[in-house]
C-alpha cells in the first residue's frame, strides 16, 4: 500500500452534516522519520463529540480546521516502524489520529493495546477504552451513587450510559434509564438489570419519572440535554449530583444550548452540577480499569458494539449517533483485524 485515504473537513456543518462538508481524498503515504511508526487503522471510534470538533464553537479542544483530517480515535496495526518501541504487527492505539486508512505518528504518542484472552479487540474501543473510562469516572468519581439512592441515566442504551448504569447498580443504587424504543428499554431492564426504563419516543418523560422515581432523583447521569435533561433536573433531591457527560440533542441545533429552566434549584436544593471531559482523567485510567477489566473478563459487565464497514461510509455512519439507529458503541471497521 503506497497511498492512504482520509476525510478532510471542507465546510463547517450548519445543522446536520451535509454532503460536501467533508471530502474523501487519496494521497501518497509519506516516508517515516526516525522515531515514527506507520499504523494501518482497523477500527475508528465514532462519537457525538465528532460533531463538536467540526464546529468553531467554544470547546475543550481546538476545532478541526478547514482542510485538516477529521479528528478521531482508533486502534490499528503497525505496518512499518522506525522506532525501537514498536515492531511490525504490534496492535496499538495511535491516539487522536483521524478518519484515515493509515496514521503516521511519533512513537511517543502511540500506546500498545494489551491482549487479554477472551476479550475481543473491540472492547478496547468501548468498555475498556474511552467509553468505559467516561462511564466510570462520571458515575463513580463524580456521581458517587450510594446504596438505596435513585440514579437516572439518559441515553441509557448508548455506549457510555449502559455501562454507567450498571456501575451504579453494582453500588446498590436504583437505576432508571431513558432510551428510545421498546427494544432498547427491554434490554435495559432485562439483560442489564435496570430497575426501570422510560421510552422517550412513546411516553411523557416527566410523568414516567414521577411514576418510577416517587422519592426524587439523587444522581443524574446526563447525556442528552434539552427537555429530557430539564425533566430530570427538576426532580432532583437535596444534595443531588448532576454529571454532565454530553448534550447530544443540541449538537446539530446551532446557537447556545439552553440550560435548566429553574436554575435556582441548584441553590435551593444544594445540587452539584459538574461537566467533565474524559481526557482530564486519562492519567488516572488505571483506577477505572482495575474495576472494569475484571468485570469485562468475567462477563459481569454487559456491553455492545455496532460496527459499520468502510472508511467511505464514515459520514453516513456518524449520523446514526443522532438518530439512535445503533446499539451500544458505534465503530467503523476500516481494515481487517490482525
CATH of the domain at 187: 3.40.50.720
Q: What is the mean pLDDT of each run of 10 residues along the chain (338 residues)?
A: 92 91 96 96 93 90 94 95 96 91 94 90 95 98 98 96 98 98 96 98 97 98 95 98 92 82 96 96 96 94 95 93 85 95
3-state secondary structure 229-248: HHHHHCCEEEEEEEEECCCH
Query: Do 112 and 16 fall within a single domain?
Result: yes
> What's the pLDDT score for residue 327?
79
Query: Do 116 and 142 fall within a single domain?
Result: no
Taking the whole predicted model, whether its pTM rises above 0.85 is answered as yes
**Distance (Å, whole) CA 42 – CA 333:** 6
| Residue keyed to cell 475543550 | 60
Q: What are phi and psi of 268, to 5 degrees?
A: -65, -30
Q: How many CB atoms lie within 10 A of CB 283?
A: 8
289 falls within a domain? no
Query: Do 270 and 134 fall within a single domain?
Result: yes
> What's the pLDDT score for residue 30?
93
Question: Could you tell me the CATH number of the domain that includes residue 21?
Answer: 3.90.180.10
User: 3-state class of 142 per DSSP?
Assistant: helix
Bridge partner residues of 198 (DSSP)? 178
Query: Do 147 and 33 fall within a single domain?
Result: no
215 falls within a domain? yes
Going from the C-alpha of 194 to that of each of 5, 33, 73, 160, the distances in angstroms are 42, 51, 30, 15
297 falls within a domain? no
Cell of 323: 438518530
298 falls within a domain? no
| Total number of domains in the chain | 2
Which DSSP helix (H) or strand (E) runs through 220? strand 217-222
Q: How many CB atoms lie within 10 A of CB 94?
A: 24
Query: Do 185 and 267 fall within a single domain?
Result: yes
Domain encompassing residue 7: 3-126+303-333
231 falls within a domain? yes
> What's the pLDDT score for residue 1?
61
117-148: b (≥16 Cβ within 10 Å) or e: eeeeebbbbbbbbbbbbbbbbbbbebbebeee
Q: Which long-range contacts (CB under 8 A, 24 or more apart) does 170-175 make?
A: 171/140, 171/145, 171/146, 171/147, 172/145, 172/146, 172/147, 172/148, 173/145, 173/146, 173/147, 173/148, 173/149, 173/218, 173/219, 174/148, 174/149, 174/150, 175/151
Query: Do 142 and 268 fall within a single domain?
Result: yes
296 falls within a domain? no
288 falls within a domain? no
| Overall size of the chain counted in residues | 338
Query: Do 140 and 262 fall within a single domain?
Result: yes
- What DSSP string describes 14-40? SSS--TTSEEEEEEEPPPPPTTEEEEE
> What's the pLDDT score for residue 255?
75
286 falls within a domain? no
**Distance (Å, whole) CA 59 – CA 275:** 12
Helices marked H in 73-149: 130-136
**Distance (Å, whole) CA 230 – CA 104:** 44
**In whole angstroms, how large is the CA radius of gyration of the chain?**
20
Amino acid at each position: 500500500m503506497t497511498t492512504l485515504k482520509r476525510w478532510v473537513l471542507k465546510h463547517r456543518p450548519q445543522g446536520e452534516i451535509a454532503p460536501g462538508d467533508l471530502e474523501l481524498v487519496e494521497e501518497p503515504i509519506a516516508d517515516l522519520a526516525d522515531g515514527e511508526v506507520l499504523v494501518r487503522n482497523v477500527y475508528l471510534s465514532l462519537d457525538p463529540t465528532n460533531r463538536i470538533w467540526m464546529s468553531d464553537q467554544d470547546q475543550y479542544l481546538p476545532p478541526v480546521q478547514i482542510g485538516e483530517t477529521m479528528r478521531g480515535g482508533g486502534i490499528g496495526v503497525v505496518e512499518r516502524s522506525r522506532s525501537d518501541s514498536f515492531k511490525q504487527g504490534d496492535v496499538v492505539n495511535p491516539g487522536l489520529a483521524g478518519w484515515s486508512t493509515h496514521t503516521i505518528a511519533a512513537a511517543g504518542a502511540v500506546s500498545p493495546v494489551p491482549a487479554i484472552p477472551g476479550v475481543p479487540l473491540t472492547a478496547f474501543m468501548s468498555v475498556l477504552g474511552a467509553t468505559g473510562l467516561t462511564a466510570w469516572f462520571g458515575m463513580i468519581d463524580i456521581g458517587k451513587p450510594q446504596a438505596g439512592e435513585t440514579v437516572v441515566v439518559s441515553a441509557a442504551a448508548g455506549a457510555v450510559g449502559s455501562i454507567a448504569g450498571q456501575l451504579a447498580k453494582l453500588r446498590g443504587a436504583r437505576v432508571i434509564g431513558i432510551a428510545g424504543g421498546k427494544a432498547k428499554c427491554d434490554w435495559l431492564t432485562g439483560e442489564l438489570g435496570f430497575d426501570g426504563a422510560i421510552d422517550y419516543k412513546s411516553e411523557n418523560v416527566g410523568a414516567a419519572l414521577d411514576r418510577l422515581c416517587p422519592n426524587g432523583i439523587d444522581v443524574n447521569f446526563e447525556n442528552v440535554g434539552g427537555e429530557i435533561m430539564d425533566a430530570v433536573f427538576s426532580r432532583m433531591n437535596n444534595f443531588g449530583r448532576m454529571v454532565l457527560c454530553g448534550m447530544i440533542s443540541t449538537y446539530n441545533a446551532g446557537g447556545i444550548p439552553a440550560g435548566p429552566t429553574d436554575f435556582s434549584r441548584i441553590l435551593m436544593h444544594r445540587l452539584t452540577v459538574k461537566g467533565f471531559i474524559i481526557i482530564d482523567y486519562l492519567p488516572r485510567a488505571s483506577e477505572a480499569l482495575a474495576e472494569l477489566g475484571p468485570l469485562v473478563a468475567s462477563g459481569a459487565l454487559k456491553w455492545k458494539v455496532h460496527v459499520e464497514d468502510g472508511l467511505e461510509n464514515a459520514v453516513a455512519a456518524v449520523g446514526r449517533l443522532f438518530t439512535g439507529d445503533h446499539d451500544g458503541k458505534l465503530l467503523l471497521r476500516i481494515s481487517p483485524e490482525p
